[in-house]
């Protein structure tokens, strides 16, 4: 399997796509074709555990990696999760399903991929004969940073540097990153929002001068954001696994269509669902759920992606994003894989802050996806009511998706012509990762201290407090640096001294 850039410049192997992270022309790597999972293979997957299912899906893309070693690596990665199943599917009394993706080492769904990426990168470097150290730069709205730090902690031949918006993450997220262990890691807060962090990192990636300076220090630059295909690919697997779980538990028949609702920020998680569909999984509608930063909802409505708009800080910080990087991969598909057109749109986005797609492309977009958004008040209400009704506590991101999903179902129920499919809502973080906001949603009470929030949620819900959350409480804070966005590269150079 080869990978090509969405902007036309390059054709590389899986290992190269992972190690490079982003194409030299600024484009994102996409598979040359979508590999199919046959009906027989899907049947066979029913009898497999999660690592085996994931290996089957991943090896279709990474056929340059040895499959048995890949399976072992996946097994080792998912052993770091609490419980036997890294992605359990939970049925609610109202007939909806929640796919819990937050049982990993940092309590957010980013662990599903970031526990696997180090293997793909290390082995990729070995296959390519890369002998320099790898420098991984991460821009994070909170969860990717911690998951990358934990995933690559003390990994051989790799250093990781994370930038996060100083005022744009939850206290718990800040604490999780600030107390990170490992000799090969660094964390820096940036004055600004997530888009400023992401733009700063992208600038370092695409600047000839920055790259050269990094190379002169003996490093090769790479990425752990979902622009890296090695980050995206492991996320495709849980759509397959959830589907298999629905079949094996007799909730659906093999071949029946299933819808998925995804709380969306950088468009990586939901894009993985689209890839699963293109590989042959019977996926119906993918519900793209946004918070008050509803740039995607507007895009679906109008066909224009417009980033010149106010940026809001919300209680679902991992979705506070105006420029969703992975949308480029979808735009590329909508255009019929027209690299010149994609490049032109990305240039327009960089220069004017907006671009539009054609009517036929918008039609294709609406055939696979539905987009909706949830206000802060509605999200709070949804979390509260869902707990009252079903005794199930959700985090603030999942709350956004649940609210959009419920309204979507109401709309379908009102229309006698509509066909209703089983619906899976992706649960992307533990409620304990956003304790203040979740406690507020559940009780209307504010607490200043994160751990007081954790304790009260526990008393109220009896939900187990994850070990990683307990662990950060008494750890010393190692990283305190705060810089302005134009000083990010200086921090990189300092780190590489």
Ligand X SMILES: *Cc1c(COP(=O)(O)O)cnc(C)c1O
- The reply on whether position 428 binds ligand X by CB under 6 A is yes
Q: Residue from 397, 399, 436, 440 that binds ligand X (CB under 6 A)?
A: 397
- For the record, the structure tokens of 404 come out as 């959009």
Phi, psi dihedral angles at 272 (to 5 degrees): -60, -35
Residue closer to ligand X, measured from CB, 90 or 213: 90
Helix %, strand %, coil % of the chain (to 5): 50, 15, 35
Q: Which residues pair with 53 in a beta bridge?
A: none
- Tell me the closest approach of the beta carbon of residue 374 to ligand X, in angstroms: 13
Residue closer to ligand X, measured from CB, 4 or 262: 262
- Contact between 224 and 160 under an 8 Å Cβ cutoff? The reply is yes
Residue closer to ligand X, measured from CB, 247 or 400: 400
- Tell me how far apart the alpha carbons of residues 117 and 102 are, in angstroms, rounded to a whole number: 17
- Tell me how far apart the alpha carbons of residues 296 and 264 are, in angstroms, rounded to a whole number: 9
- Tell me the closest approach of the beta carbon of residue 264 to ligand X, in angstroms: 4
- For the record, the structure tokens of 166 come out as 């100083």
Contact segment (CB under 6 A) with ligand X among 257-265, 343-351, 445-453, 465-473 equals 257-265
- How is 373-397 classified by DSSP, letter by letter? E--HHHHHHHHHHHHHHH-----HH
Pick from 375, 373, 357: which is nearest to 302 by CA?
Answer: 357
Residues 58-77 that bind ligand X (CB under 6 A): none
DSSP state of 63: T
- CA distances to 40, 163, 317, 342, 368 from 26, rounded to whole Å, are 38, 20, 26, 11, 27
Q: Residue from 265, 273, 393, 431 that binds ligand X (CB under 6 A)?
A: 265
- Tell me the closest approach of the beta carbon of residue 317 to ligand X, in angstroms: 9
- Tell me how far apart the alpha carbons of residues 461 and 464 are, in angstroms, rounded to a whole number: 9
- Tell me the closest approach of the beta carbon of residue 225 to ligand X, in angstroms: 9
Residue closer to ligand X, measured from CB, 57 or 394: 394
- Tell me the closest approach of the beta carbon of residue 144 to ligand X, in angstroms: 6
Q: Residue from 86, 200, 268, 435 that binds ligand X (CB under 6 A)?
A: 268
Residue closer to ligand X, measured from CB, 58 or 438: 438
Contact segment (CB under 6 A) with ligand X among 5-13, 265-273, 329-337, 457-465 equals 265-273
Residue closer to ligand X, measured from CB, 109 or 495: 109
Q: Residue from 173, 269, 293, 450 that binds ligand X (CB under 6 A)?
A: 269
- Tell me the closest approach of the beta carbon of residue 239 to ligand X, in angstroms: 13
- The reply on whether position 294 binds ligand X by CB under 6 A is no
Contact segment (CB under 6 A) with ligand X among 149-157, 264-272, 344-352, 447-455 equals 264-272
Residue closer to ligand X, measured from CB, 102 or 489: 102
User: If DSSP states are collapsed to H, E and C, what string results for 113-153?
Assistant: HHCCHHHHHHHHHHHHCCCCEEEEEEECCCHHHHHHHHHHC
Task: Provide the CA 132 distance to its chain's centre, in angstroms.
Answer: 28
- Tell me how far apart the alpha carbons of residues 201 and 222 are, in angstroms, rounded to a whole number: 11
Contact segment (CB under 6 A) with ligand X among 112-120, 167-175, 261-269, 489-497 equals 261-269
Q: Residue from 319, 402, 412, 424 that binds ligand X (CB under 6 A)?
A: 319
- How many residues of this chain bind ligand X (CB under 6 A)? 16
Q: Residue from 30, 57, 70, 108 that binds ligand X (CB under 6 A)?
A: 108
- Tell me the closest approach of the beta carbon of residue 373 to ligand X, in angstroms: 14
Residue closer to ligand X, measured from CB, 222 or 318: 318
- Contact between 77 and 121 under an 8 Å Cβ cutoff? The reply is no
- How is 17-40 classified by DSSP, letter by letter? HHHH-S-TTS--EEESSPPPPPHH
Q: Residue from 110, 292, 329, 341 that binds ligand X (CB under 6 A)?
A: 110
Residue closer to ligand X, measured from CB, 272 or 442: 272
Residue closer to ligand X, measured from CB, 204 or 394: 394
Residue closer to ligand X, measured from CB, 8 or 104: 104
Q: Residue from 5, 59, 186, 226 that binds ligand X (CB under 6 A)?
A: 226
Q: Residue from 318, 342, 403, 450 that binds ligand X (CB under 6 A)?
A: 318
- The reply on whether position 243 binds ligand X by CB under 6 A is no
Task: Provide the CA 339 distance to its chain's centre, in angstroms.
Answer: 24
Q: Residue from 106, 241, 264, 403 that binds ligand X (CB under 6 A)?
A: 264
Residue closer to ligand X, measured from CB, 291 or 335: 291
Residue closer to ligand X, measured from CB, 51 or 145: 145
Burial class of residue 351, CB neighbours in 10 A (0-12, 13-18, 19+): exposed
Pick from 271, 3, 233: which is nearest to 117 by CA?
Answer: 233
- How is 429-465 classified by DSSP, letter by letter? B-GGGSHHHHHHHHHS---SSHHHHHHHHHHHH-PPP
If you search the block for the tokens 């962090």, which residue do you land on?
Answer: 197
- Tell me the closest approach of the beta carbon of residue 381 to ligand X, in angstroms: 19
- Contact between 356 and 374 under an 8 Å Cβ cutoff? The reply is no
Residues 138-197 that bind ligand X (CB under 6 A): 143
With a CB cutoff of 8 Å and minimum separation 6, the contacts of 273 are: 236, 239, 260, 262, 283, 286
Residues that bind ligand X (CB under 6 A): 108, 110, 143, 226, 263-269, 318-319, 397, 428-429
């Amino acid at each position: 399997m080869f990978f090509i850039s969405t902007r036309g410049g390059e054709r590389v192997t899986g290992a190269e796509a992972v190690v490079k992270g982003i194409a030299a022309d600024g484009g994102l790597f996409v598979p040359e074709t979508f590999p199919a999972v046959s009906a027989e293979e899907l049947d066979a997957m029913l009898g497999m555990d999660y690592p085996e299912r994931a290996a089957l899906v991943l090896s279709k893309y990474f056929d340059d990696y040895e499959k048995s070693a890949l399976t072992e690596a996946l097994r080792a990665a998912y052993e770091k999760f609490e419980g036997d199943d890294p992605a359990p599917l939970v049925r609610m009394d109202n007939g909806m399903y929640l796919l819990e993706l937050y049982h990993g080492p940092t309590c957010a769904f980013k662990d599903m991929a970031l526990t696997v990426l180090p293997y793909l990168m290390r082995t990729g470097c070995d296959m390519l004969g890369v002998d320099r150290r790898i420098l991984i730069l991460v821009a994070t709205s909170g969860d990717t940073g911690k998951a990358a730090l934990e995933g690559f902690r003390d990994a051989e031949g790799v250093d990781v540097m994370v930038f996060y918006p100083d005022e744009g993450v939850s206290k718990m997220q800040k604490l999780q990153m600030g107390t990170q262990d490992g000799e090969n890691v660094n964390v820096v807060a940036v004055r600004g929002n997530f888009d400023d962090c992401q733009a700063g990192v992208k600038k370092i990636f695409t600047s000839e001068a920055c790259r050269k300076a990094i190379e002169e220090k003996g490093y090769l630059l790479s990425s752990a954001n979902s622009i890296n295909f090695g980050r995206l690919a492991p996320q495709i697997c849980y759509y397959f696994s959830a589907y298999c779980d629905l079949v094996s538990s007799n909730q659906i028949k093999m071949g029946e269509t299933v819808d998925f609702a995804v709380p969306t920020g950088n468009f990586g998680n939901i894009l993985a669902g689209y890839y699963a569909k293109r590989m042959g999984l019977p996926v119906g509608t993918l519900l793209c759920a946004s918070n008050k930063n509803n740039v995607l909802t507007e895009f679906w409505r109008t066909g224009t992606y417009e980033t010149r708009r106010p940026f809001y800080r919300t209680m679902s910080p991992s979705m506070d994003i105006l420029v969703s990087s992975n949308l480029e991969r979808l735009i590329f598909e909508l255009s019929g894989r027209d690299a010149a057109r994609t490049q032109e749109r990305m240039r327009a986005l960089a220069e004017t802050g907006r671009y539009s797609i054609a009517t036929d492309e918008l039609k294709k977009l609406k055939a696979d996806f539905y987009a909706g958004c949830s206000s802060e008040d509605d999200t709070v209400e949804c979390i509260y009511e869902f707990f009252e009704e079903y005794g199930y506590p959700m985090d603030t991101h999942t709350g956004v998706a649940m609210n959009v999903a419920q309204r979507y179902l109401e709309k379908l129920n009102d229309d006698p012509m509509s066909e209703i499919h089983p619906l899976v809502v992706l649960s992307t973080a533990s409620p304990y990762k956003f304790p203040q906001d979740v406690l507020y949603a559940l009780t209307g009470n504010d607490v200043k201290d994160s751990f007081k929030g954790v304790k009260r949620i526990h008393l109220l819900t009896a939900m187990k407090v994850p070990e990683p959350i307990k662990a950060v409480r008494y750890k010393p804070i190692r990283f305190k640096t705060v810089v302005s966005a134009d000083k990010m590269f200086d921090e990189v150079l300092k780190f590489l001294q």
